[in-house]
Protein backbone atom coordinates (compact mmCIF):
# COMPACT_ATOMS: atom_id res chain seq x y z
CA UNK A 1 0.00 0.00 0.00
CA UNK A 2 1.41 3.37 -1.02
CA UNK A 3 0.30 7.02 -0.74
CA UNK A 4 -0.31 8.95 -3.98
CA UNK A 5 -1.05 12.42 -2.66
CA UNK A 6 -2.95 14.66 -0.29
CA UNK A 7 -6.22 16.60 -0.36
CA UNK A 8 -6.81 19.38 2.14
CA UNK A 9 -10.62 19.38 2.19
CA UNK A 10 -12.19 16.41 4.00
CA UNK A 11 -15.34 16.30 1.86
CA UNK A 12 -13.32 16.39 -1.35
CA UNK A 13 -10.95 13.69 -0.10
CA UNK A 14 -13.82 11.36 0.72
CA UNK A 15 -15.51 12.16 -2.58
CA UNK A 16 -12.35 11.21 -4.45
CA UNK A 17 -12.02 8.04 -2.36
CA UNK A 18 -15.57 7.08 -3.33
CA UNK A 19 -14.77 7.74 -6.98
CA UNK A 20 -11.76 5.42 -6.86
CA UNK A 21 -13.75 2.76 -5.01
CA UNK A 22 -16.58 2.92 -7.55
CA UNK A 23 -13.98 2.37 -10.29
CA UNK A 24 -12.52 -0.70 -8.56
CA UNK A 25 -9.42 1.03 -7.20
CA UNK A 26 -9.29 0.12 -3.51
CA UNK A 27 -7.93 2.84 -1.30
CA UNK A 28 -7.89 4.35 2.18
CA UNK A 29 -8.43 8.02 2.97
CA UNK A 30 -6.59 8.82 6.21
CA UNK A 31 -6.47 12.08 8.16
CA UNK A 32 -2.94 13.41 8.55
CA UNK A 33 -2.69 16.64 10.56
CA UNK A 34 -4.12 19.36 8.29
CA UNK A 35 -4.81 17.22 5.22
CA UNK A 36 -6.11 13.85 4.03
CA UNK A 37 -3.76 11.28 2.49
CA UNK A 38 -4.88 8.90 -0.26
CA UNK A 39 -3.41 5.37 0.08
CA UNK A 40 -3.71 2.84 -2.77
CA UNK A 41 -3.82 -0.87 -1.87
CA UNK A 42 -2.61 -2.39 -5.14
CA UNK A 43 0.74 -1.18 -6.49
CA UNK A 44 -0.38 -2.10 -10.02
CA UNK A 45 -3.06 0.60 -9.78
CA UNK A 46 -0.75 3.37 -8.55
CA UNK A 47 -0.19 4.98 -11.95
CA UNK A 48 -3.90 5.02 -12.78
CA UNK A 49 -4.79 6.43 -9.36
CA UNK A 50 -2.19 9.19 -9.67
CA UNK A 51 -3.62 10.15 -13.06
CA UNK A 52 -7.13 10.23 -11.62
CA UNK A 53 -5.97 12.39 -8.70
CA UNK A 54 -4.40 14.92 -11.05
CA UNK A 55 -7.69 15.18 -12.97
CA UNK A 56 -9.71 15.43 -9.77
CA UNK A 57 -7.64 18.31 -8.39
CA UNK A 58 -8.41 20.31 -11.55
CA UNK A 59 -12.21 19.98 -11.24
CA UNK A 60 -13.16 18.44 -7.85
CA UNK A 61 -16.78 19.51 -8.30
CA UNK A 62 -17.34 17.70 -11.59
CA UNK A 63 -20.55 15.59 -11.65
CA UNK A 64 -18.64 12.37 -12.25
CA UNK A 65 -17.13 12.76 -8.78
CA UNK A 66 -20.29 13.83 -6.99
CA UNK A 67 -22.28 11.00 -8.57
CA UNK A 68 -19.60 8.45 -7.65
CA UNK A 69 -20.44 8.64 -3.95
CA UNK A 70 -23.90 7.14 -4.54
CA UNK A 71 -22.42 4.36 -6.68
CA UNK A 72 -19.76 3.62 -4.06
CA UNK A 73 -22.37 3.39 -1.31
CA UNK A 74 -24.44 0.97 -3.40
CA UNK A 75 -21.36 -1.22 -3.97
CA UNK A 76 -20.58 -1.22 -0.24
CA UNK A 77 -24.14 -2.27 0.60
CA UNK A 78 -24.02 -5.11 -1.94
CA UNK A 79 -20.67 -6.31 -0.59
CA UNK A 80 -21.99 -6.20 2.98
CA UNK A 81 -24.97 -8.34 1.97
CA UNK A 82 -22.70 -10.84 0.23
CA UNK A 83 -20.44 -11.05 3.31
CA UNK A 84 -23.53 -11.68 5.43
CA UNK A 85 -24.67 -14.47 3.09
CA UNK A 86 -21.15 -15.96 3.11
CA UNK A 87 -21.11 -15.92 6.91
CA UNK A 88 -24.39 -17.84 6.98
CA UNK A 89 -22.95 -20.41 4.57
CA UNK A 90 -19.94 -21.03 6.80
CA UNK A 91 -20.27 -24.33 8.60
CA UNK A 92 -18.23 -25.71 11.46
CA UNK A 93 -18.40 -29.31 10.25
CA UNK A 94 -17.51 -30.52 13.74
CA UNK A 95 -20.76 -29.15 15.20
CA UNK A 96 -23.17 -28.29 12.37
CA UNK A 97 -22.56 -30.92 9.73
CA UNK A 98 -26.18 -32.03 9.50
CA UNK A 99 -27.84 -28.66 10.11
CA UNK A 100 -27.82 -27.80 6.39
CA UNK A 101 -28.11 -31.34 5.10
CA UNK A 102 -29.33 -31.89 1.58
CA UNK A 103 -31.26 -34.89 2.82
CA UNK A 104 -28.77 -37.63 1.84
CA UNK A 105 -27.83 -39.89 4.73
CA UNK A 106 -24.05 -40.47 4.93
CA UNK A 107 -24.39 -44.24 4.45
CA UNK A 108 -20.97 -44.80 2.91
CA UNK A 109 -19.24 -42.70 5.55
CA UNK A 110 -20.73 -44.84 8.32
CA UNK A 111 -19.86 -48.03 6.43
CA UNK A 112 -16.21 -46.98 6.04
CA UNK A 113 -15.99 -46.08 9.73
CA UNK A 114 -17.41 -49.48 10.68
CA UNK A 115 -15.01 -51.27 8.32
CA UNK A 116 -12.02 -49.41 9.78
CA UNK A 117 -13.07 -50.33 13.32
CA UNK A 118 -13.54 -53.99 12.34
CA UNK A 119 -10.13 -54.20 10.69
CA UNK A 120 -8.48 -52.52 13.68
CA UNK A 121 -10.07 -55.08 16.00
CA UNK A 122 -8.73 -57.85 13.74
CA UNK A 123 -5.27 -56.28 13.97
CA UNK A 124 -5.38 -56.13 17.77
CA UNK A 125 -6.28 -59.83 17.92
CA UNK A 126 -3.25 -60.78 15.84
CA UNK A 127 -4.91 -61.44 12.49
CA UNK A 128 -2.67 -61.33 9.44
CA UNK A 129 -3.40 -58.11 7.57
CA UNK A 130 -0.53 -58.33 5.11
CA UNK A 131 -2.93 -58.79 2.13
CA UNK A 132 -4.28 -55.30 2.86
CA UNK A 133 -0.96 -53.47 2.48
CA UNK A 134 -0.35 -51.98 -0.95
CA UNK A 135 2.52 -54.46 -1.37
CA UNK A 136 4.95 -56.60 0.61
CA UNK A 137 7.85 -55.45 -1.53
CA UNK A 138 9.52 -52.13 -2.17
CA UNK A 139 10.69 -50.83 -5.51
CA UNK A 140 14.08 -52.56 -5.10
CA UNK A 141 13.98 -55.77 -3.10
CA UNK A 142 17.54 -56.65 -1.98
CA UNK A 143 19.20 -59.82 -0.67
CA UNK A 144 22.77 -60.46 0.48
CA UNK A 145 24.29 -63.93 0.06
CA UNK A 146 27.69 -65.22 1.12
CA UNK A 147 29.69 -66.94 -1.59
CA UNK A 148 30.47 -70.55 -0.65
CA UNK A 149 33.86 -70.48 -2.40
CA UNK A 150 35.21 -67.10 -1.31
CA UNK A 151 33.10 -66.23 1.73
CA UNK A 152 32.50 -62.77 0.26
CA UNK A 153 29.09 -61.19 0.38
CA UNK A 154 27.22 -61.06 -2.89
CA UNK A 155 24.52 -58.41 -3.12
CA UNK A 156 21.65 -59.01 -5.55
CA UNK A 157 19.03 -56.47 -6.43
CA UNK A 158 15.50 -57.04 -7.52
CA UNK A 159 14.58 -56.25 -11.06
CA UNK A 160 12.82 -52.87 -11.21
CA UNK A 161 9.27 -53.65 -10.15
CA UNK A 162 6.23 -51.68 -9.06
CA UNK A 163 3.39 -53.23 -7.07
CA UNK A 164 4.29 -56.83 -8.04
CA UNK A 165 1.18 -58.36 -6.43
CA UNK A 166 -0.91 -56.27 -8.81
CA UNK A 167 1.24 -56.24 -11.95
CA UNK A 168 2.42 -59.86 -11.74
CA UNK A 169 6.11 -58.90 -11.89
CA UNK A 170 8.61 -61.29 -10.30
CA UNK A 171 10.54 -60.22 -7.21
CA UNK A 172 13.56 -61.57 -5.40
CA UNK A 173 12.35 -63.98 -2.70
CA UNK A 174 15.16 -65.71 -0.86
CA UNK A 175 17.75 -66.34 -3.55
CA UNK A 176 15.36 -66.71 -6.46
CA UNK A 177 13.01 -64.55 -8.47
CA UNK A 178 9.44 -65.65 -7.89
CA UNK A 179 5.94 -64.58 -8.85
CA UNK A 180 4.14 -63.29 -5.74
CA UNK A 181 0.71 -62.58 -7.11
CA UNK A 182 -1.27 -60.91 -9.81
CA UNK A 183 -4.25 -58.58 -10.15
CA UNK A 184 -4.61 -57.99 -6.38
CA UNK A 185 -6.07 -54.59 -7.21
CA UNK A 186 -7.75 -54.14 -3.83
CA UNK A 187 -4.29 -53.33 -2.43
CA UNK A 188 -4.46 -49.92 -4.11
CA UNK A 189 -7.22 -48.93 -1.69
CA UNK A 190 -7.11 -51.13 1.42
CA UNK A 191 -4.23 -49.38 3.27
CA UNK A 192 -6.69 -46.61 4.16
CA UNK A 193 -8.72 -49.02 6.31
CA UNK A 194 -5.80 -49.99 8.59
CA UNK A 195 -4.52 -47.95 11.53
CA UNK A 196 -1.50 -48.24 13.75
CA UNK A 197 -2.96 -47.42 17.15
CA UNK A 198 -6.15 -46.53 19.01
CA UNK A 199 -5.27 -42.84 18.91
CA UNK A 200 -4.56 -43.08 15.18
CA UNK A 201 -7.96 -44.57 14.33
CA UNK A 202 -9.85 -42.25 16.71
CA UNK A 203 -8.25 -39.17 15.16
CA UNK A 204 -8.93 -40.30 11.59
CA UNK A 205 -12.49 -41.46 12.25
CA UNK A 206 -13.25 -38.15 13.96
CA UNK A 207 -12.41 -36.21 10.82
CA UNK A 208 -13.87 -38.80 8.45
CA UNK A 209 -17.19 -38.61 10.30
CA UNK A 210 -17.51 -34.83 9.98
CA UNK A 211 -15.83 -34.18 6.63
CA UNK A 212 -17.17 -37.33 4.99
CA UNK A 213 -20.73 -36.80 6.21
CA UNK A 214 -20.73 -33.20 4.96
CA UNK A 215 -19.38 -34.14 1.54
CA UNK A 216 -21.54 -37.25 1.05
CA UNK A 217 -24.67 -35.28 1.93
CA UNK A 218 -23.87 -32.86 -0.92
CA UNK A 219 -22.48 -35.17 -3.59
CA UNK A 220 -24.54 -38.31 -3.03
CA UNK A 221 -23.24 -41.84 -2.56
CA UNK A 222 -21.91 -42.57 -6.07
CA UNK A 223 -19.88 -39.44 -6.61
CA UNK A 224 -18.65 -39.56 -3.03
CA UNK A 225 -17.51 -43.18 -3.50
CA UNK A 226 -15.73 -42.23 -6.71
CA UNK A 227 -13.90 -39.43 -4.96
CA UNK A 228 -12.85 -41.72 -2.10
CA UNK A 229 -11.41 -44.25 -4.57
CA UNK A 230 -9.47 -41.65 -6.54
CA UNK A 231 -8.07 -39.95 -3.42
CA UNK A 232 -7.13 -43.30 -1.87
CA UNK A 233 -5.44 -44.73 -4.96
CA UNK A 234 -3.41 -41.64 -5.84
CA UNK A 235 -2.29 -40.92 -2.28
CA UNK A 236 -1.42 -44.59 -1.66
CA UNK A 237 0.62 -44.96 -4.85
CA UNK A 238 2.48 -41.73 -4.14
CA UNK A 239 3.31 -42.81 -0.59
CA UNK A 240 4.46 -46.23 -1.85
CA UNK A 241 6.82 -44.71 -4.40
CA UNK A 242 8.20 -42.19 -1.90
CA UNK A 243 8.71 -44.33 1.20
CA UNK A 244 7.85 -47.95 0.53
CA UNK A 245 4.86 -50.21 1.08
CA UNK A 246 4.39 -50.28 4.85
CA UNK A 247 2.06 -47.38 5.58
CA UNK A 248 -1.56 -47.19 6.63
CA UNK A 249 -4.35 -44.82 7.59
CA UNK A 250 -7.24 -42.69 6.34
CA UNK A 251 -5.39 -39.37 6.61
CA UNK A 252 -4.68 -38.99 2.89
CA UNK A 253 -8.37 -39.39 2.10
CA UNK A 254 -9.34 -37.05 4.94
CA UNK A 255 -7.10 -34.36 3.51
CA UNK A 256 -8.75 -34.95 0.14
CA UNK A 257 -12.18 -34.40 1.71
CA UNK A 258 -10.92 -31.29 3.46
CA UNK A 259 -9.39 -29.87 0.28
CA UNK A 260 -12.58 -30.45 -1.71
CA UNK A 261 -14.92 -28.88 0.87
CA UNK A 262 -12.55 -25.95 1.43
CA UNK A 263 -12.07 -24.97 -2.23
CA UNK A 264 -15.55 -25.91 -3.49
CA UNK A 265 -17.21 -23.93 -0.71
CA UNK A 266 -14.93 -20.95 -1.24
CA UNK A 267 -15.60 -20.74 -4.99
CA UNK A 268 -19.18 -22.02 -5.30
CA UNK A 269 -21.71 -19.97 -3.28
CA UNK A 270 -24.48 -22.47 -4.08
CA UNK A 271 -22.61 -25.51 -2.74
CA UNK A 272 -24.11 -25.01 0.70
CA UNK A 273 -20.97 -25.37 2.80
CA UNK A 274 -18.08 -23.07 3.56
CA UNK A 275 -15.63 -24.48 6.08
CA UNK A 276 -15.09 -22.27 9.10
CA UNK A 277 -11.69 -20.68 9.59
CA UNK A 278 -10.83 -22.75 12.68
CA UNK A 279 -11.26 -26.04 10.80
CA UNK A 280 -9.09 -24.76 7.93
CA UNK A 281 -6.41 -23.62 10.36
CA UNK A 282 -6.39 -26.91 12.29
CA UNK A 283 -6.00 -29.02 9.15
CA UNK A 284 -3.25 -26.88 7.62
CA UNK A 285 -1.30 -26.52 10.87
CA UNK A 286 -1.44 -30.29 11.44
CA UNK A 287 -0.18 -30.87 7.91
CA UNK A 288 2.87 -28.71 8.63
CA UNK A 289 3.45 -30.21 12.09
CA UNK A 290 3.55 -33.71 10.59
CA UNK A 291 6.37 -32.65 8.27
CA UNK A 292 8.49 -31.59 11.26
CA UNK A 293 8.75 -35.17 12.52
CA UNK A 294 7.52 -34.19 16.00
CA UNK A 295 4.64 -36.68 15.82
CA UNK A 296 6.67 -39.66 14.60
CA UNK A 297 6.59 -41.49 11.31
CA UNK A 298 3.75 -40.01 9.25
CA UNK A 299 2.65 -40.62 5.65
CA UNK A 300 3.26 -37.02 4.63
CA UNK A 301 3.25 -37.77 0.91
CA UNK A 302 -0.22 -39.33 1.21
CA UNK A 303 -1.44 -36.27 3.16
CA UNK A 304 -0.10 -33.88 0.55
CA UNK A 305 -1.34 -35.80 -2.48
CA UNK A 306 -4.76 -36.24 -0.88
CA UNK A 307 -4.96 -32.49 -0.31
CA UNK A 308 -3.90 -31.78 -3.90
CA UNK A 309 -6.55 -34.18 -5.23
CA UNK A 310 -9.24 -32.55 -3.11
CA UNK A 311 -8.25 -28.99 -3.98
CA UNK A 312 -8.13 -29.80 -7.72
CA UNK A 313 -11.47 -31.64 -7.66
CA UNK A 314 -13.13 -28.90 -5.61
CA UNK A 315 -11.89 -26.18 -7.94
CA UNK A 316 -13.03 -28.04 -11.07
CA UNK A 317 -16.45 -28.73 -9.54
CA UNK A 318 -16.82 -25.05 -8.62
CA UNK A 319 -15.97 -23.99 -12.18
CA UNK A 320 -18.54 -26.40 -13.64
CA UNK A 321 -21.18 -25.10 -11.23
CA UNK A 322 -20.86 -21.54 -12.49
**Distance between CA atoms of 305 and 287, rounded to whole angstroms?**
12
d(CA 199, CA 20): 55
Helix, strand, coil percentages for the chain (3-state, nearest 5): 60, 10, 30
Q: CA-to-CA distance for 172 and 180, rounded, in angstroms?
A: 10
Strands (DSSP E) found in 130-183? 142-146, 153-157, 170-173, 176-179
62 is a catalytic site residue: no
The DSSP secondary-structure symbol of 159 reads P
Is residue 293 within 8 Å of residue 261, measured between CB atoms? no
Residue 51 among the catalytic residues? no
B/e letters for 90-105, b = 16+ CB within 10 Å, e = fewer, are ebebbeebeeeeeeee
Q: Return the sign of the alpha-carbon dihedral for residues 86, 91, 96, 100.
A: positive
Residues 67-89: b if buried by 16+ CB within 10 A, e if exposed? ebbeebeeeeeeeeeeeeeeeeb
Q: Catalytic one among 135, 213, 217, 251?
A: 251
**Residue from 69, 120, 195, 303 carrying the catalytic annotation:** 303
| Cβ atoms of residues 287 and 235 within 8 Å | no
Catalytic residues: 251, 303
Amino acid sequence: MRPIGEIKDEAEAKRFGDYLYANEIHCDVDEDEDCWTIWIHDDDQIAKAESELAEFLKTPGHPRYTQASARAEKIRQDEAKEEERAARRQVDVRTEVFSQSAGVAPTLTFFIIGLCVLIHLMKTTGRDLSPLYISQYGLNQTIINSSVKTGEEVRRYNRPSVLPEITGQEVLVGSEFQSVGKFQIWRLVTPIFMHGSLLHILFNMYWLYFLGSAMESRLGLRRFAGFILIAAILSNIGQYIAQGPFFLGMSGVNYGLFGYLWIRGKNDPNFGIQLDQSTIAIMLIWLVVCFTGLVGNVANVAHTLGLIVGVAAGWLAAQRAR
